C-alpha cells in the first residue's frame, strides 16, 4: 500500500513539473513590446524649443535659444531593444481645438524630427502679468493607420515677477518668491557642456564652443512647497515639482545644483559645464508626464534593467492611437535669471 501511495505521489509531482515547464515555455514576453508610434511634442510659448534627452528615459529639459517660433515634434516606433524604427511617411498638423483653425503643419527635418513655425499668443494684462488661454490639438496621419490625436490645454495667469533666482556663492542659487506660483510648476536643473579655447599669451582670447546639453541628476533645496515624490538622501532627483500653496508674501529659499566636473583637454582647450535652474509653468498633461517619467527613470535607470527601453509604454500618455506626450510649457528662460 505504501509503495502504491509513493508511486501516486511521484506521478503527481511529475505532472506538476510538466505543467510548470509547459507554462514557462508558452509565456510570450514579446506581447509587452507591441509596436506603437511614439510622439513627443512640447509646445513652448517663447523663442526656444525643447527636446527629449538622448537616453529617451526622461526629458533632460534642454532648451536652445532662438528668435523664431520653431516647435519640434519627434516621432518613431518604439522598440524593446531601445533601437528606434523611423516612420517612412507621416503628416502632422497643429490645430486650435476650440475654433478648429489650422495653425501649422510640421515639416520633416531628420529621421525622427519634424519642425513647425508657430508661437501661441498670450495677453499682457499689465506689467509682468501674462494671460494664457491655449487649446491645441495635434493630428498625425500615417498611411495604413488610424489618425493619431492628442490634445493639450493651458489656461493660466502668470506673473513672471513673482520670483527671482540669484546666482550665489559656491555655485548655489537663492530664490526669492514674492507671490504664490500657480501650479503645475517645476524647477528643473540643466547643464551645458562647452569647450573653451584660450591662448595664454593673448589676453581676452578665450572662445566658447557649446557642444551639447547634458542631464543634471539632482538639486538640493530648503524649498517648503516641494512635492517629496523624488526626494532621497537630502536631494531632489532631476527636479522639484511645486505643490499647491496657501501662503503669499516674500520668502527666501536656497538651491544647490549638482556640479559636473570639467577637465583639461590640452594646453589650449578645456571642457567646462554651466549649470542653472529653469522655472516651468506647464499644462496638466505635461505635469503628469514629467512626474511619471522621473519616477520611472529613478526605478529603471540601469543599463542592465530589462524594463529600461519600455519607457513609453510605462508612463502617462495622452496620445490616442499611440504613446508619448503632447503638452505646453511657459519656460522662464535662464537669461532672465538675475546674477549677483
Residue 23 lies in a domain: no
Residue 43 lies in a domain: yes
Residue 27 lies in a domain: no
Q: Residues 38-53: pLDDT tens digits?
A: 999 999 886 443 433 3
Residue 79 lies in a domain: yes
Q: Residues 279-322: pLDDT tens digits?
A: 889 999 999 999 998 888 888 765 454 444 456 777 899 999 99
Locus of grid cell 537663492: 174
Residue 10 lies in a domain: no
- Residue 63: its pLDDT value, please? 35
Select the more confidently predicted residue: 260 or 21. 260
Residue 33 has pLDDT above 90, yes or no: no
- Residue 327: its pLDDT value, please? 95
Which of 97-106, 115-124, 250-259 is most confident? Answer: 97-106
**What's the Cα-to-Cα distance from 148 to each of 105, 155, 333, rounded to whole Å?**
15, 24, 31
Residue 155 has pLDDT above 70, yes or no: yes
Residue 13 lies in a domain: no
Residue 21 lies in a domain: no
Residue 72: Cβ-neighbour burial (10 angstroms; 0-12, 13-18, 19+): buried
231 pLDDT band, cuts 50/70/90, is very high
- Residue 310: its pLDDT value, please? 53
- Residue 230: its pLDDT value, please? 94
Residue 139: Cβ-neighbour burial (10 angstroms; 0-12, 13-18, 19+): middle
Q: Residues 96-119: pLDDT tens digits?
A: 999 999 999 999 999 999 999 998
6 pLDDT band, cuts 50/70/90, is very low
Residues 6+ apart with CB under 8 A from 122: 45, 130, 131, 132, 133, 134
Instruction: Give the number of domains in the chain.
Output: 1
Q: Residues 165-224: pLDDT tens digits?
A: 776 544 567 677 877 777 788 988 888 888 888 776 655 566 777 777 787 888 888 888
Q: Residues 61-110: pLDDT tens digits?
A: 333 333 357 899 999 988 766 677 899 899 999 999 999 999 999 999 99
| Beta-ladder partners of 153 | 135
Determine the structural domain holding residue 167 and report its residue range: 36-339
Give the chain as a 3 state SS string: CHHHHHHHHHHHHHHHHHHHHHHHHHCCHHHHHCCCEEEEEEEECCCEEEECCCCCCCCCCEEEECCCCEEEEEEEECCCCCCCECCCCCEEEEEECCCCCEEEECEECCCCEEEEECCCCCEEEECCEEEEEEEEEEEEECCCCCCEEEEEEEEEEEECCCEEEEECHHHEEEEEECCCCCCCEEEEEEEEEEEEECCCCCCCCCEEEEEEEECCCEEEECCCCECHHHEECCEEECCEEECCCCCCCCEEEEEEECCCCCEECCCCEEEEEEEEEEEEEECHHHHHHHHHHHHHHHHHCCCCCCCHHHHHHHCCCCEECCEEEEEEEEEECHHHCEEC
pTM for the structure as a whole: 0.78
Residue 46 lies in a domain: yes
Amino acid at each position: 500500500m505504501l509503495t502504491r501511495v509513493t508511486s501516486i505521489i511521484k506521478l503527481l509531482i511529475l505532472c506538476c513539473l510538466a505543467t510548470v515547464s509547459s507554462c514557462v515555455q508558452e509565456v510570450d514576453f514579446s506581447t509587452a513590446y507591441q509596436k506603437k508610434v511614439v510622439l513627443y511634442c512640447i509646445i513652448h510659448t517663447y523663442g526656444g524649443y525643447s527636446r527629449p534627452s538622448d537616453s529617451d528615459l526622461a526629458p533632460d529639459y534642454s532648451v536652445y535659444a532662438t528668435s523664431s517660433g520653431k516647435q519640434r515634434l519627434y516621432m518613431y516606433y518604439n522598440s524593446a531593444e531601445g533601437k528606434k524604427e523611423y516612420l517612412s511617411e507621416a503628416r502632422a498638423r497643429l490645430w486650435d481645438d476650440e475654433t478648429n483653425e489650422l495653425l501649422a503643419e510640421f515639416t520633416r527635418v531628420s529621421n525622427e524630427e519634424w519642425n513647425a513655425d508657430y508661437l501661441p499668443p498670450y495677453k499682457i494684462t499689465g506689467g509682468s502679468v501674462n494671460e494664457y488661454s491655449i487649446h491645441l490639438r495635434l493630428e498625425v496621419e500615417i498611411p495604413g493607420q488610424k489618425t493619431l490625436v492628442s490634445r493639450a490645454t493651458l489656461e493660466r495667469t502668470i506673473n513672471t515677477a513673482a520670483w527671482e533666482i540669484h546666482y550665489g556663492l559656491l555655485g548655489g542659487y537663492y530664490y526669492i518668491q514674492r507671490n504664490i506660483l500657480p501650479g503645475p510648476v517645476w524647477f528643473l536643473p540643466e547643464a551645458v557642456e562647452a569647450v573653451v579655447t584660450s591662448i595664454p599669451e593673448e589676453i581676452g582670447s578665450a572662445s566658447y564652443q557649446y557642444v551639447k546639453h547634458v542631464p543634471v541628476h539632482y538639486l538640493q533645496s530648503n524649498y517648503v512647497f516641494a512635492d517629496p515624490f523624488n526626494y532621497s538622501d537630502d536631494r531632489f532627483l532631476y527636479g522639484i515639482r511645486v505643490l499647491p500653496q496657501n501662503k503669499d508674501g516674500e520668502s527666501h529659499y536656497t538651491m544647490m545644483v549638482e556640479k559636473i566636473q570639467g577637465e583639461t583637454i590640452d594646453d589650449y582647450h578645456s571642457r567646462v559645464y554651466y549649470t542653472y535652474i529653469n522655472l516651468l509653468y506647464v499644462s496638466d498633461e505635461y505635469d503628469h508626464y514629467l512626474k511619471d517619467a522621473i519616477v520611472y527613470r529613478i526605478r529603471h535607470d540601469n543599463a542592465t534593467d530589462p524594463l529600461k527601453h519600455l519607457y513609453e509604454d510605462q508612463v502617462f500618455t495622452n496620445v490616442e492611437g499611440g504613446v508619448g506626450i503632447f503638452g505646453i510649457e511657459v519656460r522662464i528662460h535662464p537669461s532672465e535669471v538675475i546674477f549677483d
